[in-house]
Amino acid sequence: MGRDGASAKRAAWVILGVGASLASAATVRADPIQYNYYAHYTRAEDGLGGAQQKSATVMPTYKTFSHTAVGGTASSSQITTFSTEGMDVQVEQARGGDVLALSEASGYLDFTALEDTPYAVAGAYKIEDLLDSLPGYSHFTVHLVDVTDPTHVGLLYERELTLHTPDAMHKVDGVANAIGPGSQYAFGGKLYGSLIKGHKYTFEFHLSMDAWPEADGGQSSVGNISLMFGDRAAAAVPLPGAAWAGVTLLGGLGAGRAWKRRRSKAFDAGE
């Protein structure tokens, strides 16, 4: 190859390289969410005067925050992690059985949608009774609001209060799990949907258990809350019944065609 041919080849490779770089840059997605601030609060009381409360307001970046309160024999901790795909909270609690003993964890997030993007909310709060006695009171709430909308439309609100419910289990699922006398449940909105570009939102959660209105045998608990965005949120949305039926039908048709092909080959072979 002559000098001119070699130069032309090098130029072609440069052009291809620049084109590939531009294509790669074009596929980089911007973050769908801007986290504005996050206030989290933990509280622990043993019912005998030992109490500790902690609160903090932070400007979230993509990292993890840890927060723990210990009051006598009671404790409550929450670990919160922020990423481009959402916010995840892990809660661990314990308390004794003296009347008014309490463990509580809550949080308040303010954020802005930078593009139209899906959202989904999931979570659970599992309480274990430490002794065979009638347990006290538990509280579980998640609340997502569009504060830019003039009506401050609530995208999701789920609140459950239990009283005297053994080993209470709360879930973000749109279903009442409270079964004890005096228990309450409220639900509105959707577990998943879409956020609007440029709109500001707030998200709140609350998980607590306490020995009220009388002493009990004490409790421990674990919980998690996830507010998801983008592809992660879309992947968390269950297929509707009609879609599952379609998947089943397609699977059946595929299996039927494969069976027919096998039968045809066997016939041709004289089997």
- Sign of the dihedral through C-alpha 19, 23, 26, 31: negative
Q: What is the structure's pLDDT at 52? A: 93
Q: Is the pLDDT of residue 259 over 50?
A: no
pLDDT tens, residue by residue, 41-70: 999 999 988 899 999 998 888 889 899 999
Q: What is the structure's pLDDT at 240? A: 62
Of 7-16, 32-41, 174-183, 196-205, the range with the lowest mean pLDDT is 7-16
Long-range contacts of 29-32 (CB under 8 A, 24+ apart): 30/114, 30/115, 31/84, 31/114, 32/84, 32/113, 32/114, 32/115, 32/117, 32/195, 32/229, 32/230
Which residues does 170 contact at the CB level (< 8 Å), separation at least 6? 124, 125, 126, 138, 140, 160, 162, 177, 178, 207, 223
Q: What is the structure's pLDDT at 61? A: 84
268: left (phi over 0), alpha (psi -120 to 50) or beta: alpha
Q: What is the structure's pLDDT at 179? A: 74
Tokens for 230, please give them. Answer: 């983008």
Distance CA 247, CA 217 (A): 49
Confidence of residue 25 (pLDDT cuts 50, 70, 90): very low
* Section 145-154 average pLDDT: 94
Kind and range of the H or E run holding 16: helix 3-27
CB 105 within 8 A of CB 92: no
Q: Is the pLDDT of residue 108 over 50?
A: yes
CB 204 within 8 A of CB 107: yes
